[in-house]
Structure 1
């Protein structure tokens, strides 16, 4: 089983069809857990089933639970809201090397990268843009998104915003303030393992979620003309447009989901890696971010 997990490339190259299992997007039932029973999906725009789409999911949280329950199961009725569309949650390759877990997440089928030319329509790729560092900021009452300089998705297309209200309230994360030993250890893991391993708990210290409803709001997609080699200026402009649309969608819906007192999203800049610092010393005169590494309010 271990050799199969290490040698099989189905997780990253696709090829397995969806199984008709309870709770899968292809199956008849979706109420498979406490979390999925608390999920609801809100559609704010019609999507043409002949096209392919990229959903930018926020916030990442520690387990991307809102994305899994809404786009990997029928708990919230995705197929009824978006008929003829089939969602796929994009995951890091490292998860496909874990025996048993990889088989569980592949039960509903997997495909090669959806944002590639040649694939038919009706495909939806769901990307948690913030990444593992954003998971370390997942705390009740806080909405910090690490997307200031997350621009790698722009050549694939601008994502329609998919924001989960109540996502950060499902679990309580152990205190990990910036500069603490725990936080430094967690921030050192992504370059090595691609994960940050946040520590969290539920009621009575158990790994069960608090009974907090999750409302995932899917916004309208942003149409762009495909360009396989966009310039840096084009990437910056499209990224700014994507962030602006996300902030607008949040401001429009926050009062309906109990966040009327929350003024703005906090948008943070991902800190540079050591390799970036070496490149700066070799000749790149651009100064690395200092205070911008911490959250900056989006006015």
Structure 2
């Protein structure tokens, strides 16, 4: 019998370690993904064959596989058995119309391994991906869910399964744990497909009256969680039908409309294993809607009717008339379709060319995320504005004059290494978690770091504004103190920033310090549990301002070949070196290639030499639009902390061996390359090149 979903009613927290620890995965081929069709498998149906078939009949031609829209996933063995011969019949006749095969309720676990592999291989031969269906919730109820889930993913990968569906069933899983599950699945080079719904207890065959008594959740919660999954790299979401079109007294069409309005339609799939349901979806949203149906319904769905639109459903079939010219001499293209004729003119959808404006009905949480990222981007101008405003009020002058003299001539707070202004309360404010969730950003740890040592974290790449470094090491937004307990870390920045009135207090409160040599040595040799820096750490963005000019999307060019000052610092202080690679840091902005504009490049380098920083000519999105502005794009930032490199201390600068410096530098570069090679297929799938180490 099939494994039933455990009726757990309490919150299931801690299903994964709070420390998002990435498992070590043996090298394997990349995941098949959601739809891959061998080039040899490009059969043409009679309905599409215009010369020798029925191509003369009006229909909605479907793109060849792999498809990104109009995807059909069929249920495998669950209500009835399915063997190789039956599946062969289905795919040999209807394979053109099937994109995915989904096992249900853990049914694949009831097979012997040989016939299961035969089913999976047969599906792949016809360009059909294979999904596990919902079974993860059963595994998460085990006493040791981490070990069980890792073994589950390892075996799924070995069997050739492509997609791991993540459904909660009767479990209440915190959002962060959901995202950790997604990361874990992706780390095995498998595709994660979360199943979302509004009905608690969905999938448990509870009658409609019972589900109504339990109640439903706010559809906005589903939409917000869907956005977080998509930001985390999920390619497609499954929408559970219970509570929407199944086991309800009346369909919740409002929920479906909101999902289609606020989430990308091509990245959403609806459970619709009922002819009335899938007919409604196609009638309302057209043939491009992604649907999950039973294997027995594939012919009914794809036959001349619902998908093909050759009998009664002409909503998406367009008749194109010749181009004409209007009174102004402009060429017009006339279109006639049943869908456009059936709707009032005022309700037609027009695609705007140019700037894409943000919709008005965005959730409050996403608005707050945008606002906080905007504030962080403009932190220095905001504090300078406050300062000049106070300067305009004479009553503050007796306080401002000595304050300015103090921070300009006498203050050593940024370089003393005492960290007196550091406030754990400020670092842990919830606003920083909202800031980090904008991208979203996540901090991953490969190994625990004992607090009995001191460390230098080398952060790469610089990017435009180093948003990932601030979220991970300048605040507690990503849980640094939980991942590395007992270690007091300081993010370092230019010494000039501590001469900016009011801003310096904010930076010191976050534990940020100067990147000067004096500051680095003081932090790593003073304070700590032994008074000599034990348990202290600093984070240096090694590439600096020069590297920011290399920040181009989908590429990673580091300025590191000649950067050895941090290596010498580690030797003098006895601090271990810890490489950190941030995947996505270069993808949140676009900038002009200054190398292609010599005058601009010379000006940028002149500013860098004279002022210590440079000004990349960058752009991304705006606050109210997605095309123009200085706000970063919403792109996942995955910050992976590598393995520490032990360093032998040599306090006498004159006796530091150059060969030892080169050896440590080489080991550091090798560790960075290992991080890149191990996680590039997980967090840099859209890369256009490999990691480059430059000077």
TM-score by structure 1 length?
Answer: 0.81
1:195 Cα deviation after fit? 0.5
Residue by residue, what CA displacement relative to the aligned partner does 1:70-115 show, whole Å, maximum 9, x if unpaired? 0111211111111111211122212111223222211223564223
Structure 1 position 231, deviation (Å): 1.9
TM-superposed deviation, 1:242: 1.0
RMSD: 2.2
Deviation at 1:20, TM superposition (A): 4.7
Shift of 1:159: 2.1
Question: What residue number does 2:678 align with?
Answer: 252
The answer as to 2:625 corresponding to 1:212 is: no
Report what 1:176 is aligned to.
594
**Which residue of the partner structure matches residue 273 of structure 1?**
none
Deviates more, 1:56-65 or 1:109-118: 109-118
1:68 aligns with 2:464: no
1:259, CA displacement in angstroms? Answer: 3.4
* Greater relative contact order (Cα < 8 A, sep 6+): 1
SS of the residue corresponding to residue 498 of structure 2 reads: helix
State the distance in 1 between where 2:512 and 2:559 align: 27
Runs of 4 or more consecutive aligned structure 1 residues displaced over 6 Å after TM superposition: none
Distance in structure 2 (CA, Å) of the matches to 1:215 and 1:20 = 24
Tell me, yes or no, if the aligned pair for 1:88 and 1:124 is still in contact at 8 Å. Answer: yes
Pairs within 5 Å for 1:138-177:
138-157=551-570, 159-177=577-595
Q: Which has the larger radius of gyration?
A: 2
Count residues in correspondence: 267
The Cα of 1:263 is off from its aligned counterpart by 5.3
Residue 100 of structure 1 is matched in structure 2 by 502
Secondary structure, in 3 states, of the residue corresponding to 2:459? strand
Q: Please point out which of 176, 188, 193 is paired with 2:611.
A: 193
Superposition deviation, residue 174 in structure 1: 3.0
- Post-superposition Cα deviations, 1:184-240, rounded to whole Å, max 9, x if no partner, equal 111112221111122222213322111101000001110121123312222112211
Contact 1:36 1:69 in 2 (8 A): no
Tell me how far 1:258 sits from its aligned partner. Answer: 2.9
2:524 is matched with 115
Q: 1:171 to 1:235 in 2, by over 3 A?
A: same
2:447 corresponding residue in structure 1: 45
Structure 1: runs of 5+ lacking an equivalent: 270-299
Pick one of 41, 50, 54 that aligns with 2:456.
54
Higher helix residue share: 2
Is the partner of 2:453 in helix, strand or coil? Answer: coil
1-structure distance, mates of 2:611, 2:499: 12
Structure 2 alignment gaps of length 5 or more: 1-399, 514-518, 571-575, 622-626
State the partner residue of 1:18.
422
Q: Secondary structure at the match of 2:433?
A: coil
Task: Find the partner of 1:238 among 646, 652, 664.
Answer: 664
Question: Aligned partners of 2:666 and 2:524: how far apart in 1?
Answer: 21
